[in-house]
Amino acid sequence: MIDEVTDERTREGESAAGPAVPQEGEAGPHAGAGHGEPDKSAKKTEDAPAPSRAEVSNYEIVEHWFGVAAERLELPDDVAAVFRSSYREVQVQVPVKLGDGKVHVFSGYRVQHNGARGPYKGGIRFHPEVDLDEVRALAELMTWKTAIVNLPYGGAKGGVNVDPSKLESHEVQAVARSFMDKIEKVLGPTRDIPAPDVGTNAQVMAWLMDEYGKLHGHTPACVTGKPIALEGSQGREAATGRGVVHVFQEAAKGIDLDPADSRFVVQGFGNVGSWTARLMQALGATMVGVSDASGAIATEDGIDAEELAEHVREGGTVGAFNGGAGEIDSDDLVAVECDVFIPAALGGMIHKDNADRMNCRMIVEGANSPTTPSADSILNDKGVTIMPDVLANAGGVVVSYFEWVQNLQHFRWNEDQVNERLAEIMRRAFHEVADRAKQNDTPMRPAAYELGIERVVEAASTRGYI
Ligand code: NAD
């Protein structure tokens, strides 16, 4: 199965049929401009060269792991077929007049994978590479993730193929509002509740909530990840990173690693990466390498995560950070020697051509689908412990759940209450997955998928949906 998935694919930039598809960094005629037909060409998203990514799509990665777990669970083919496709897939046009005075048409998506356990839940991504295949994969991942941490939600995801870094704030606002206008019919606090993801943040959630409110009346529970001033939850911004760190702390015990003594590398210094780094540093750990889309830096002496976060908040990039670390090739970040490597950027960045170079004892997946199945297999053979995305980065959706609960009750929790409850849920989920992995003698990822799938299948069949 692993070979089938990867062998059919070639590395980015090496189409088996020749270079017919525009390659990353080789923007097509409409690259990111959003004129007319939805632009499906590969696009250059930032000015500096980005590290290589696998050609295995996010969808193939999620399908691979679903297939492995379904086989072990002996899920009948007809039942598995229900989960191999989505309940609902909405694709809309998002026309927006930009600063050049022209109307640009972006493509927007909302995919609801499965709602057996409750309302659909999942982020909204603004990124030029967003397409239906990716959104589908991320929606399915949310179904298993919410089940693994035992939240009363189904799985969904959405996105718009726009590059927010190239737009003015009022243009991003126009994209958000236009997108909400097109998809509001399938959303709502008891139907589907979006949250932030790559390229979106609390401000974007505020615009989405406001737009939804124009049509339905003030409804704070219609999105999560909102600013505190608009009934967002204390602790939501740091929640995914905090969850990553809880999982790391539990997993470290299993490999006799003292968190205070550990050295870590973070790939992607956005919401998830920067919070993970700051919270790891607060435990006493040392960041020895870090990257963003602009470049990578590394030093054995350590990079101050708080100072780097401040530098990025002020508009700086990781590559330009003057904190005593030397710039390295982004592709070499994976080879930096450390105890823990934390991918917190995009999918498929640890693949069969760089997995063998990794020089860590543990990977804690802050990003969604960062590791391809082939890379996972190589790393397992090398003895690297992997904490899978569906468990490790669930902290965000856990606190999104808390935000939704608070909004429905019009009652506020303080940050300590949020953080304590988050810790309890993450630790419980870790141990449920770890017990299963031990019992079945498998790594954590198959155990996590099995747990999630079992819970969703039970809910779907008890409802009479399957
Ligand atoms: P973000 O947009 O805040 O940050 C993304 C970071 O990745 C940025 O620093 C960007 O420069 C960097 N990046 C982009 N391309 C890169 C490349 N080629 N090499 C190195 N760095 C690169 O996004 P985020 O919300 O932090 O999400 C990061 C990952 O975590 C995504 O996979 C997302 O799906 C996942 N995730 C996010 C949340 C959440 O609550 N935000 C929850 C669960 C999972």
CA of 374 to the centre of ligand 1 (A): 22
Protein residue with least CA distance to atom 40, ligand 1: 396
Q: Where are the beta strands (DSSP E) in 135-232?
A: 154-160, 192-196
Rounded Cα–Cα distance for residues 49 and 267 (Å) = 15
Q: 275: Cβ–Cβ under 8 A, 6 or more apart, which residues?
A: 237, 238, 240, 241, 242
Q: How far is CA 324 from CA 214, 306, 312, 319, 321, in A?
A: 50, 14, 16, 12, 8
Determine if ligand 1 sits within 6 Å of the CB of residue 146: no
Does the beta carbon of 267 lie inside 6 Å of ligand 1?
A: yes
Contact 222, 231 (CB under 8 A): no
The residue to which tokens 């049929």 are assigned: 17
Query: The tokens of 56 are what?
Result: 């295995």
Cα–Cα distance between 326 and 319 in angstroms, integer?
9
Q: Name, in order, each residue with C-beta under 8 angstroms of 376's C-beta and a sequence gap of 6 or more.
A: 355, 386, 443, 445
Which of 61, 140, 163, 198 has the most ligand 1 atoms within 8 A of CB, as the residue to mutate? 198
400 lines ligand 1 (CB under 6 A): no
Q: Is 271 in the pocket of ligand 1 (CB under 6 A)?
A: yes
The predicted structure's pLDDT at residue 353: 96
| Ligand 1 contact via 290 beta carbon (within 6 Å) | no
Nearest CA to ligand 1 atom 5: 270
What's the pLDDT score for residue 200? Answer: 97
Atom of ligand 1 nearest to the CA of 366: 30
The pLDDT, as a whole number, for residue 323 is: 86
**pTM greater than 0.75:** yes
For ligand 1, is residue 293 a contact (CB within 6 Å)?
yes
Whole-number pLDDT of residue 237: 95
Q: In the prediction, which pLDDT does 3 show?
A: 40
d(CA 122, CA 118): 12
Q: How far is the CA of 293 from the centre of ligand 1 (A)?
A: 10
Tokens linked to 1: 């199965």
Is residue 269 lining ligand 1, measured as CB closer than 6 Å?
yes
Q: Closest residue (by CA) to atom 22 of ligand 1? A: 293
Segment 110-166, tens digit of pLDDT: 999 999 999 999 999 999 999 999 999 999 999 999 999 999 999 999 999 999 999
Q: Which residues pair with 266 in a beta bridge?
A: 290, 342
Pair 374, 303: CB distance under 8 Å: no
Residue pair 430/398 in contact by the 8 Å Cβ criterion: no
Q: What are phi and psi of 37, to 5 degrees?
A: -60, 145
Residues in the chain with pLDDT values less than 70: 1-55
Please list the alpha-helical segments (H only) found in 352-414. Answer: 373-381, 389-392, 395-409
Q: Which of 157, 182, 382, 438 is catalytic?
A: 157
R_g (Cα) of the chain, nearest Å: 21
Query: Is the shortest distance between the CB of 386 and ligand 1 below 6 Å?
Result: no
Q: What is the predicted pLDDT for the residue at 11?
A: 31
Nearest to 246 by CA among 417, 385, 421, 403: 421
Catalytic status, residue 157: yes
Task: Give 215 Cα–ligand 1 centroid separation in angstroms.
Answer: 31
